[in-house]
Amino acid sequence: MDSDFGIPRELSELQKLRSIYEPDLPPCLQGTTVRVEFGDSTTAADAAGARTISRYFPTLTVSPWLTFLGQLLKVGIVFCGRQSPGGHNVVWGLLNALKIHNPNSTLLGFLGGSEGLFAQRTLEITDEVLSTYKNQGVTSNTDAAQLAETFAEAKCSTKVVGVPVTLNGDLKNQFVETNVGFDTICKVNSQLISNVCTDALSAEKYYYFIRLMGRKASHVALECTLQSHPNMVILGEEVAASKLTLFDLTKQICDAVQVRAEQDKYHGVILLPEGLIESIPEVYALLKLLLYPESDDSAQLSQIETEKLLAHLVQAEMSKRLKEGTYKGKKFNAICHFFGYQARGSVPSKFDCDYAYVLGHICYHILAAGLNGYMATVTNLKNPVNKWRCGAAPITAMMTVKRWAQSPGATSIGKPAIHPAAVDLKGKAYELLRENAIKFLMDDLYRNPGPLQFEGPGADAKPLTLCVEDQDYMGRIKKLQDYLDKVLELLYSPNSVIAILHDVKTMVLVSKQERMIFNVPTNEIYTKVALPSCKIAEYRTKIESIPFNRVFHMTVAATTPYESRGGCLVISTSNVQHPKDEEISFLLKTNSIFNGLVELAGGKAKLLDWISTTIPKGYPLPQ
């Protein structure tokens, strides 16, 4: 909560209008009865760090992910980290859910964030306290996981639930599509950037260097670029992937300025993510020595005026080129800005209000189910609220372990944490940026989305990076499961064939994060069963009659119960116990089923990568 500790605030007319807005709920959270459906058990996001994470969180790492399909509690809520618009709606949604299911339940807010938690400074949250905070702006879930594990080890009944609230948009994985506050931050920043673009086009003599808040990852910079179309954006992930030096970046910008000058354009807008400087190797090592580190051992990037550094270097290089005669245009002039604090205190967007409110309701259902160490999740967010899918995932399933090279042959292993997700340089959002980069640079295609809208045109707009990507991993898992269930219905007769499909389902339905594997399948999947010899012809006839273009191919073979052959996984579902029995090898061909999987995965290469990273070493075979 804010420092006024719940005292009603004086609201503007717009704030009063926003405070009476009632967010919608998905159908699965409506009513008083919600069913919790448990999915497969999950493991860590990084196989290399799985053992380390399991040592730190032994009771949490075996938790399954959940899906919500439709008691008296005392719940505490604490905000950690940077402010993010929409966080108050998590509190509102949680309070409403508590009161719907038991009016005597209590919600406590810890004052002052983590310090208030340890100092036990609390305030009971009521409708009156929340009345001036609904749909208003506000103030790492690694701490939540640590608390949850501590309580679990101590046999304490207290449960801990995390909520994806961060303005940086870097808490992204197969369970979390975006974060509360990211949409608001990007829309407010995009309007400010667009205003600067208009000014640059009018004055025709300034280059604006704009740094955007967002920590190490460049999600905010990418989203704002797609919304406002500045002339250039330099993503930290691009710099890291290409190993660009400070000189390389300076030359890249100067070359762009010179090309524009040849078209008599002496203005422009260049976006820089807050974490850009951290991606430049020769600079970051020095920064960590000079700046006080944050809790995750990273430098405090908001203190580093990267935009001024680059503007100075570019100005010096352009002056040098002008003197040498390699540049014959007008004098280069730069103006610098840092956009961050202006946006994170904004009144939240309609999307962030709805998203946070739904997450608050999910938190209640996680707690009511007695679950610990989970993060509330919503998927299918690019669709209307009534199509959102609500659930929860263990926080440990999102963790990785950092490793640092201290010297040749020696590494230092860090603690498990939910590390920021970088911009995917193979993703659709980045591809969209690359497709338009030259046009943005040369043609001044500035786009002004205007102020943040709460009603009418633009009010329902969602982040472009969310809409262009297919991030509904859990939805695709469900679709794939339904697809394979239909195949099971076709193969109704022999139990052995059902066992085969069980093996196939195991490979594609086990959590994507289980990275251990015997070997990488190509385009074929083998499995074996033992059958009486007299039944071979009968089973061959039944299987070949399936209307799937001979999905399965049978051969008689004698193999050990568990082996790998030719880059394919071989599974024996039962041992041969009678002399007259023979092992039948079934080969899943690259026809109907495989092509269906290819379509769902988004390409053959992605499917093979997906399958190759989903089979855990030592996974129990069906009997």
Residues 389-404: tens digit of each pLDDT: 888 888 888 887 766 5
User: In the sheet where 106-110 sits, what is the strand order?
Assistant: 74-77, 106-110, 122-124
Is pLDDT of 547 > 50? no
Q: What pLDDT does 553 receive?
A: 36
- Mean pLDDT, residues 557-572: 32
> How many whole angstroms separate alpha carbon 336 and alpha carbon 211?
8
> How many whole angstroms separate alpha carbon 115 and alpha carbon 529?
60
Confidence band of 23 (pLDDT split at 50, 70, 90)? confident
Q: What pLDDT does 22 receive?
A: 80
Q: Do domains 13-175+348-417 and 183-345+423-468 have the same CATH topology?
A: yes
- Mean pLDDT, residues 449-473: 86
Of 202 and 113, which is predicted with more confidence? 202
The continuous run of DSSP H or E covering 532 comes out as strand 525-532
Q: What pLDDT does 287 receive?
A: 67
SS3 274: coil
| pLDDT per position as a tens digit, 26-36 | 877 776 666 56
Domain boundaries, the chain: 13-175+348-417, 183-345+423-468, 473-612
Structure tokens, 166: 């961060």
Q: What pLDDT does 579 receive?
A: 37
Of 212 and 407, which is predicted with more confidence? 212
> How many whole angstroms separate alpha carbon 186 and alpha carbon 233?
15
Lowest-confidence segment of 114-118, 322-326, 415-419, 482-486 by average pLDDT: 482-486
Cα separations (Å) of 381 from 223, 227, 361, 468?
16, 19, 16, 12
What is the DSSP pairing of strand 106-110 with strand 74-77? Answer: parallel
Nearest to 404 by CA among 514, 301, 297: 297
Is pLDDT of 363 > 70? yes
| pLDDT per position as a tens digit, 279-309 | 887 776 676 666 655 555 555 666 778 899 9
Structure tokens, 527: 């499995």
Confidence (pTM): 0.71
| DSSP conformational letter for 301 | G
Is pLDDT of 3 > 50? no
Q: Is the peptide bond before 70 cis (omega within 30 degrees of 0)?
A: yes
CA angle 404, 410, 415 (to 5 degrees): 40
> How many whole angstroms separate alpha carbon 228 and alpha carbon 225?
5
CA angle 369, 371, 374 (to 5 degrees): 125
Is pLDDT of 165 > 50? yes
Pair 158, 68: CB distance under 8 Å = no
Q: Extract long-range pairs of 12-21: CB within 8 Å, 24+ residues apart.
A: 14/347, 14/454, 15/132, 15/136, 15/347, 17/454, 18/134, 18/135, 18/136, 18/347, 18/353, 18/454, 19/131, 19/132, 19/133, 19/134, 19/135, 19/136, 20/134, 21/134, 21/135, 21/350, 21/353, 21/454
255's torsion region: left (phi>0), alpha (psi -120 to 50) or beta?
Answer: alpha
Task: Tell me the sheet residues that pair with 77.
Answer: 109
Q: What pLDDT does 250 receive?
A: 95
**Alpha carbon 365 to chain centroid distance?**
22
The continuous run of DSSP H or E covering 140 comes out as none
The continuous run of DSSP H or E covering 133 comes out as none
Q: 13-175+348-417: what CATH class? A: alpha beta
Q: 183-345+423-468: what CATH class? A: alpha beta
